[in-house]
Amino acid sequence: MAHLILVPTPIGNLEDITLRAIRILKEADIIFAEDTRTTKRLLSHMDIHKPLAPFHMHNEHKSLENVVSKIKSVGSAVLVSDAGTPGISDPGFLLVRACIDEGIKVECLPGPTAIIPALVASGFSSDRFCFEGFLPHKKGRQTKFMELAEEDRTVILYESPHRLVKCLEQIEEFMGAERRVCVVREISKLFETYHRGTAEELKNYFNETTPKGEIVVLIEGISKEEVKLKKKLGKKNMDRPKD
């Protein structure tokens, strides 16, 4: 029976890969990769030699039908991204959806992802959170920040180094200078760092210290008291007589 397995790969430290992931990679008939060169280096490190084929954001729509046909013909296929869990902020979900539609068994192994370690170590509430990935660069970005300003759950974003300061400026603008933020860099890598403080404090810090590497931004949600106050103010505005 045709089978697609999504295998998370290390986001930094190579020791983060699981024994099960190594076994699945060894047993696969073919491995689809975001970047075959990156995956080839990882597989060589583990002495795994399997057929590799590309599946990335530049060819996903064009090659989707061919990839599904290939999976049907070989039986056991694996999908990996350059780092972390496939399908998170990459086109892996398109392949998953197509395989499900074609009756192909789909499975995802647990493993490395930047979201959960950043959340747990941020100090913010981790029982409820929302993940927004990369926000729009231009169109809709301010609207999204205005929506997130009302969020009472911890908000998790991915951000690039050259847009981090702008992101912190917008958090300050739409959520307030005192909103607590945690900026996490290079999770599971040699220079992993956590910067915690208010939006204003972190904005000032990264204005003076050029950010580098892969970044996760966590924003503390508004408190229950703030939610109640906003609802109360909203109700008063609704009950106010109109001119």
At residue 209, the pLDDT reads 96
171: in domain = yes
Are residues 35 and 17 both part of a single domain?
Answer: yes
Are residues 138 and 162 both part of a single domain?
Answer: yes
Q: In the predicted model, is pLDDT for residue 201 greater than 70? A: yes
Report which secondary-structure segment, H or E, holds 85: none
By the 8 A CB rule, do 238 and 198 touch?
Answer: no
CATH number of the domain enclosing 57: 3.40.1010.10
Cβ-in-10-Å burial (0-12, 13-18, 19+) of 172 comes to buried
64-89: pLDDT as tens digits:
888 999 999 998 999 999 999 999 98
Q: In the predicted model, is pLDDT for residue 60 greater than 70? A: no
User: What pTM was estimated for this model as a whole?
Assistant: 0.86
Domain count, the chain: 2
Are residues 83 and 159 both part of a single domain?
Answer: no
Average pLDDT, the chain: 91
Are residues 90 and 146 both part of a single domain?
Answer: no
At residue 58, the pLDDT reads 67
Q: What is the mean pLDDT of residues 176-194?
A: 96
Q: What is the mean pLDDT of residues 156-160?
A: 97
Are residues 104 and 122 both part of a single domain?
Answer: no
104 sits in the region (left: phi over 0; alpha: psi -120 to 50; else beta) called: beta
Are residues 98 and 133 both part of a single domain?
Answer: no
- Using CA atoms, how far residue 35 sits from 80, 81, 150, 155, 163, in Å, is 9, 7, 38, 29, 24
Q: Give the count of beta carbons closer than 10 Å to the beta carbon of residue 137.
A: 10
Are residues 21 and 41 both part of a single domain?
Answer: yes
230: in domain = no
Are residues 119 and 190 both part of a single domain?
Answer: yes
Lowest average pLDDT, out of 59-73, 173-187, 196-210, 228-242, goes to 228-242
Q: In the predicted model, is pLDDT for residue 59 greater than 80? A: no
Are residues 103 and 124 both part of a single domain?
Answer: no
Of 26, 5, 1, the C-alpha closest to 79 is 5
Note down the domain range covering 129: 115-224
Are residues 37 and 90 both part of a single domain?
Answer: yes
Residue 133 CA to residue 219 CA, distance in Å, equals 13
Are residues 86 and 139 both part of a single domain?
Answer: no
Q: What is the mean pLDDT of residues 209-238?
A: 79
